[in-house]
A and B are shown apart, each in its own frame.
Chain A
Amino acid sequence: MGNLKVTMTDVNGTVHAIGNLNEGESLMEIAKANGVEGIFGDCGGGCACATCHVYVDQAWWPKVGEPDDIEGAMLDMVADVQRPNSRLGCQIKLRPELDGISVTVAPTSN
């Protein structure tokens, strides 16, 4: 059992404070394992479906960083709900400097 933690606000506005997490786990996997509504992860974490879309809280953006081109192309598929702080949860892997990161689950594309 790890000692990292994250905060996720799901699509219903419910805040999930999740602890005891391991380095290397993705936000998508963490969300699915903890019943965070609105995260599906259909493609299994392959950066290929945009069903684990989150908005990263501004304070954490510099540490998380920009999506690469492949992820950017997937986010473009949900352009109607994409924001400047959009990322795919499957592409954010926990590491010590992200301990305590806070994200909000994006609504599904219309």
Chain B
Amino acid sequence: METQAADIPGNAKPALTLDEKQLLAEATLKDYAIQAQPHDYYRAMRKGDPVHFDEKLGSWLVSRHEDILAVQADPITFSVNMGYHTQQARGMREEFQEILERDGGGYFPDAIMSDPPYHTRIRKLMENAFTAHRVKELEPRIRDAVVELLEQVADKGSADAVKDIAVPLTIRVIVEQLGLDHGMEAKITRWSAAVVAQISSMQNRETMVENAAQICELQNYLISKMRQRESQPSEDMISDIVHAQIKMPDGSVETLNFEEAVSLVRALLIAGNDTTATAIGNLFLLLATRPDVVRLLQESVDDDRRLTRFVEELLRVEPPVRALSRMTSCETVLGGTTIPAHAHMLLVYGSGNDQEEVFPDPRKFDMDRPNLGRHVSFGGGVHRCVGLALARMEVKVMAREIARRMDNIKLAIAVEDIRYLPTVATRTIEHLPITFTRRVG
């Protein structure tokens, strides 16, 4: 079944080291140690088996930049709908669905995690809320929220950069954007974790049931908010989604049905929350361990174009989303490897962004890369992250305000003791104790 490109005559591959051979033979992304420190495994795949079947995970890992782009360019052969919804509550989907139908107002498949042509309509209905120019209008409100929170932490001298700064900051912003209630922070954190856990491939039955209960609570809350906005629209993204419409070329008007709208509001809350917090956690780790990155941020802080580049390189070097799913709708060949029909795949963004031929010296934080926009942290093709302009802006505002208020950021634990969330879907620091001083002048 598996054809290795290395076996094809004339397609010579560099020889693998013993360690790399062992990684390809034995390692799995299901293993926490690999999830936490994946770069050697990624490199071994790119070098020796670019489209690698991770047996213990049961997924094909697409590790090379060009193969990731090829998959993204063909959303019919490589189905997001089948890939995502297979990974959701993997092995326990029916029970998961029953719980949501019984206690959570319904099971609402993720409308955006679908394939064309259905996906095209959903996507168009969301896009207006997310243009870079619309997002720019949101910036002052987001900056105010960020500044208010950072002012409360800046004098404290120590904090958990994830739990005390990144997560509350991001939740504050998402509450503002979606038009949710303040004071919901703890709940939103729990709900978010539960949704992300459903695609972690790491749940057992007990945790699946616990997480499903959280998702029910989340859906019931969102549904009540959406009902309010149906009759009383306001300046927030729930209203945007509930009232979204586009005019078709034939003059007809398309809208979202209620099930679609619930799934999209839920997706906005999660996608814009966890991933952004992860990016800020990653930023703090770099600021605490890499004086060169501290200097680059300080030099960029008053120059919008430079700061945009800084953020983009942050997202390339440490992509918050590690990998997203696809499933083959038919047997196909990718990068010289034959993949059977209905095979689950993960596009490993973290590996594609490290491909030496595209990004020389890939582990270096180099914000002057002339092809920075080539990174795949936001995916690509028709499924490219719809919220990318918003994500960039949020991370940029946060990075700028952090740089203006905090100095001498240091890790309060050893680097080896940093724990990551056990999941294949993201690479997220769980806790990051730091010390710091308030920046003067």
Taking Cβ atoms with an 8 Å cutoff, the residues of A that contact B are 40, 42-50, 69-70, 72-74, 76-80, 109-110
Contact B132 A74, beta carbon cutoff 8 Å: yes
B241 CB → nearest A CB, Å = 15
Known: A42-B382, A43-B384. 20 other contacts (CB 8 A): A40-B381, A42-B381, A46-B127, A46-B133, A46-B389, A48-B130, A48-B131, A49-B373, A49-B388, A70-B132, A73-B304, A74-B373, A76-B305, A76-B308, A76-B309, A77-B312, A77-B373, A79-B370, A109-B371, A110-B371
Interface of B is mostly: helix
> Which of chain A's residues have a CB closer than 8 A to the CB of B384?
42-43, 49
Number of B positions contacting A (CB below 8 A): 29
Q: Is B21 an interface residue (CB 8 A)?
A: no
Give 1 or 0 for each of B138-157: 1 = CB within 8 Å of chain A CB: 00000000000000000000
In the complex the two chains form, what is the Cα distance from A24 to B369 in whole Å? 35
Of residues 378 to 407 in B, which have CB atoms within 8 Å of A's CB atoms? 378, 380-382, 384, 386, 388-389, 392
| Neighbour of A73 across the interface among B127, B305, B370, B388, CB < 8 A | B305
Q: Is B124 an interface residue (CB 8 A)?
A: yes
Q: Is B123 an interface residue (CB 8 A)?
A: yes
Q: Is B47 an interface residue (CB 8 A)?
A: no
| Neighbour of A48 across the interface among B358, B372, B382, B389, CB < 8 A | B389
Give 1 or 0 for each of B222-260: 1 = CB within 8 Å of chain A CB: 000000000000000000000000000000000000000
* Those 6 A-B pairs whose CB atoms lie nearest each other, nearest first: A77-B373, A46-B131, A80-B370, A44-B127, A48-B389, A42-B384
> Which of chain B's residues have a CB closer than 8 A to the CB of A110?
358, 371, 374
Given A70-B132, A70-B133, do A43 and B127 touch, yes or no (CB 8 Å)?
yes
In the complex the two chains form, what is the Cα distance from A31 to B378 in whole Å? 23
In the complex the two chains form, what is the Cα distance from A43 to B381 in whole Å? 8
In the complex the two chains form, what is the Cα distance from A73 to B378 in whole Å? 17
In the complex the two chains form, what is the Cα distance from A40 to B312 in whole Å? 20
> Which of chain B's residues have a CB closer than 8 A to the CB of A70?
132-133, 136
In the complex the two chains form, what is the Cα distance from A78 to B308 in whole Å? 13
In the complex the two chains form, what is the Cα distance from A76 to B373 in whole Å? 8
Contact A45 B131, beta carbon cutoff 8 Å: yes
Interface hub of B308, B358, B373 (most chain A Cβ within 10 A)? B373
> Which of chain A's residues have a CB closer than 8 A to the CB of B373?
49-50, 74, 77-78, 109
